[in-house]
Structure 1
Amino acid sequence: MNNAISRPMSEKVFDAFNVCAMLLLCMITLYPFLNVLAIALNEGNDSALGGITIFPRDVTFENFKTVFQNKDLLQAGVITISRTLFGTLLSLLITSLAAYALSKKKLLGRSAILVFMTIPMFIGGTLVSNFIIMHDLHLLNSFFVYIIPGAFSFFNMIIMRTYFYTIPESLEESARIDGASDVTIFFRIMLPLAMPMIAALGLFIGVGHWNDFFTNLLYITNAKLNTLQFILMRIVKSQDMSNFLDELKNYKPGMTNLRQVTPQSIRNATTVVTVFPIIVIYPFLQKYFIKGMMIGAVKE
């Protein structure tokens, strides 16, 4: 108690300034998201009048009903979820295997392999050359174009390899004495111990897959393989909005009240539907994410 009373005035002023600055930063960060949600939950014609901040003025769910009547959006949701799950799992498996192998000093040619893998970080291909490669690999208009090209990341591998360095070698030596092979050691010892780092990298990789629309734009022309972000990009640019609303007028009349729906309200509702899964998943991975990012930050 005495320590709290005897604190200098400069420290109190500094703490107050920090609190105000953090509150202001939170408001600036959250406002765009809350504004989009408020417009998505507000009646379309009323939103067109303006004045919507973070609270809807005329609450309605017609915007979301209209969004979920878009069959292309539902198909894109299945593609996006599948891509995120399979792409993240494959990338984590390949990255962790490479990191474990390259963390061993006894690996023959380890230095040459690292140098060879470093080169693409500084010298990359062009859009034309990448397109030719995808064509030659028969990945154009294929679901695997979302997964295979980005299955390995040298940067993520370096992070994972650094983590494997922190695991005592005595654990591996004890397992070898008990007759464990490299495969057994990796899957039954190394991977469980690396779960914080795997969760952190998995979050990065998963968000990257979920938010990517450029791959769809470059290599996919089959509408059945479109992703949520690609459709959202087209809706935001109003390329599909008029056609979508015209189709709904003739699609099971009475399911939605199109008089309450405007292109602006549909854009915001689509944005909320697209972003919502990541917002829901992140809190469950947050503790692993923070722990994984802190690994290696302090050297004793």
Structure 2
Amino acid sequence: MERRGFMGKRERLNAFQLFNYGWFVLFTLICVFPFYYLFINTISNNDLSSRGLVLFYPLDIHLTNYANVFKLPGLGLAAVVSLSRTVIGTALTVFSSAFLGYLFTKNEMWGRKFWYRFLIITMYFNAGLIPWYLTMLNLGLVNNFLVYILPAIVSPFFIILVKTFIESTPAALQESAQIDGAGYWVIFTKIILPLSMPILATISIFAAVGQWNSFTDTLFLVTNQKLFSLQFILYRYMNEATSLAQLMRQTSGAVNIDLTNMATPTSIRTTVSMVVVTPILLVYPFFQRFFVKGIMIGAVKG
């Protein structure tokens, strides 16, 4: 009887594992399919793609769309702007979050409770779009590359995560360093930063994705084409896909151009989307392993 009960329990466990694996495989396919759908439409017959006939596998494969998209004006400069704001903005955001999170763990910090509550309040209230624009204008950040960097340096959510993470580390490490004569800066750089790498890697990917995907700041605050970000270029090209497709046909000298390679609004939208989203997709897997550990340890505890 005991053996039969054990076998029945084992069969139920195997059935649950099979269902669990099947569900996660299905969920993964649902998440991956939109990117796969975009990709197969970028390399398929443009006429079939525009008519919605490319669904599960590419048809009449070609790479003309990518060659045409990389010729679009302003795309290369926009990529440099987006890469620069992502690297610089992420580095400064992570450093400030780590340092402020460390300071908020110190009872001797002047006005610690007041400043911490003031920081949290900013997560729930904002003045609105017009006051935000006027503030940026008065600070001289309109048509300024620093508009991509300075407003994002202090992030309350990231600071809270780092603060909670540091509070979960053994206090004896900092106390022993203080006994040896180490100051706050030495403790922060030699002890806190190495211990906080999981949470810092987590907020790094959050900040990087936020910087890379942002386009509203460009939309409202930037008119200088040299400062346009890649996402804003995507936004503009998505809205102008029809006229761009006509322009590409004209520049191709195209009276009897093959419909397979002829640019269409659909081909423009899908190809530009793939070009913009691919870099962050390539970076994401390298930081993914830090996610669970960083978020679980740095989570706000009740």
- What TM-score does the superposition give when structure 1 sets the normalisation length? 0.89
Deviations along 1:95-132, one digit per CA (max 9) or x if unpaired, are 11111111112222211111222222222111000010
- The corresponding residue for 2:136 is 134
- The corresponding residue for 1:104 is 106
Contact 1:203 1:285 in 2 (8 A): yes
- The corresponding residue for 2:149 is 147
CA 1:241–1:182: 2 relative to 1, 3 Å: farther
Contact 1:200 1:288 in 2 (8 A): yes
Q: Which moved more, 1:27-36 or 1:265-274?
A: 27-36
1:15, distance to aligned residue in structure 2 (A): 3.5
1:243, distance to aligned residue in structure 2 (A): 4.3
- The corresponding residue for 1:211 is 213
- The corresponding residue for 2:234 is 232
CA 1:279–1:250: 2 relative to 1, 3 Å: same
- The corresponding residue for 2:198 is 196
- The corresponding residue for 1:80 is 82
Which residues in structure 2 correspond to 1:24-43 (within 5 Å)? 24-43=26-45
Which residues in structure 2 correspond to 1:278-293 (within 5 Å)? 278-293=280-295
Q: Which moved more, 1:140-149 or 1:3-12?
A: 3-12
1:73, distance to aligned residue in structure 2 (A): 1.1
Percent identical:
35
Q: Which amino acid aligns with 1:242?
A: S
Equivalent-residue separation in structure 2 for 1:186 and 1:296 (angstroms): 17
Contact 1:42 1:58 in 2 (8 A): yes
Aligned length: 294
Which residues in structure 2 correspond to 1:62-81 (within 5 Å)? 62-81=64-83
Equivalent-residue separation in structure 1 for 2:156 and 2:36 (angstroms): 37
- The corresponding residue for 1:156 is 158
Equivalent-residue separation in structure 1 for 2:57 and 2:91 (angstroms): 39
1:26, distance to aligned residue in structure 2 (A): 2.3
Q: Which amino acid aligns with 1:190?
A: I
Contact 2:241 2:266 in 1 (8 A): no
Q: Which amino acid aligns with 1:63?
A: N
Q: Which amino acid aligns with 1:26?
A: T
Equivalent-residue separation in structure 2 for 1:224 and 1:248 (angstroms): 26
- The corresponding residue for 1:246 is 247
- The corresponding residue for 2:182 is 180
Contact 1:46 1:58 in 2 (8 A): no
- The corresponding residue for 1:48 is 50
Equivalent-residue separation in structure 1 for 2:214 and 2:150 (angstroms): 14
- What TM-score does the superposition give when structure 2 sets the normalisation length? 0.89
Q: Unaligned 5+ residue runs, structure 1?
A: none
Equivalent-residue separation in structure 2 for 1:87 and 1:297 (angstroms): 23
SS in 2 for 1:122: coil
Equivalent-residue separation in structure 2 for 1:290 and 1:194 (angstroms): 14
Q: Which moved more, 1:221-230 or 1:176-185?
A: 176-185
1:11, distance to aligned residue in structure 2 (A): 4.0
Equivalent-residue separation in structure 2 for 1:99 and 1:178 (angstroms): 23
1:179, distance to aligned residue in structure 2 (A): 2.6
SS in 1 for 2:74: helix
CA 1:188–1:248: 2 relative to 1, 3 Å: farther
1:187, distance to aligned residue in structure 2 (A): 1.1
Q: Which amino acid aligns with 1:272?
A: M
Which residues in structure 2 correspond to 1:255-270 (within 5 Å)? 260=261, 261-270=263-272
Contact 2:238 2:268 in 1 (8 A): no
How big is the alpha-carbon RMSD for the aligned residues of Structure 1 and Structure 2? 2.4
- The corresponding residue for 1:95 is 97
Equivalent-residue separation in structure 1 for 2:196 and 2:249 (angstroms): 49
1:245, distance to aligned residue in structure 2 (A): 5.0
Deviations along 1:182-236, one digit per CA (max 9) or x if unpaired, are 1111112111111111000010011001111111111111111111111111222
Contact 2:87 2:208 in 1 (8 A): yes
